[in-house]
Amino acid sequence: METVKNLFESQAFVLAFIFGTYTASVWLFKKTKISLLHPLLTSIFVTIAVLEIFKVEYTTFDNSSHVISFLLGPSVVALGVTLYDQVTHIKGNLASILTAVFVGAVVGIVSVTWVLHAMGANEMLVATLQPKSVTTPIAMGISQKFGGIPSLTAVIVVAVGIFGGIVGPFILDKLGITSKIARGLALGAAAHGMGTARAMELGAIEGAISGLAIGLMGAATALMMPLVRLFL
Which pLDDT score, from 0 to 100, does residue 1 have? 64
Residue % of the chain over a pLDDT of 70: 92
Question: Looking at residues 192-203, what average pLDDT do you find?
Answer: 81
As a whole number, the mean pLDDT across the chain is 84
- Residue 39: the pLDDT is 83
Are 153 and 225 in contact by the 8 Å Cβ rule? The answer is no
Residue 21 has pLDDT above 90, yes or no: yes
CA–CA separation, 205 vs 92, rounded Å?
14
Three-class DSSP category at 107: helix
pLDDT score at 34 = 80
Q: Is 147 left (phi over 0), alpha (psi -120 to 50) or beta?
A: left
Q: How confident is the model at residue 98 (pLDDT cuts 50, 70, 90)?
A: confident
- Against a cut of 0.85, is the pTM above it? no
Q: How far apart are CA 94 and CA 64, in angstroms?
A: 42
Per-residue model confidence (pLDDT) at position 137: 79
Question: What does the radius of gyration of the chain's CA atoms come to, in whole angstroms?
Answer: 19
**Given this model, what pLDDT does residue 20 score?**
93
CA distance 144 to 153: 9
- Residue 5 pLDDT greater than 80, yes or no: no
DSSP letter at 134 equals S
> What is the tens place of the pLDDT at every residue in 24-47?
998 998 898 887 787 878 888 899
Q: What is the CA 177 to chain-centroid distance, rounded? A: 23
Q: Please name which of 174, 217, 219 lies closest in space to residue 195, comparing C-alpha atoms.
A: 217
Q: Which residues of 24-51 are buried (b: 16+ CB within 10 A; e: fewer)?
A: ebeeebeeeeeeeebbbbbbbebbeeeb
Tell me what pLDDT residue 17 has: 92
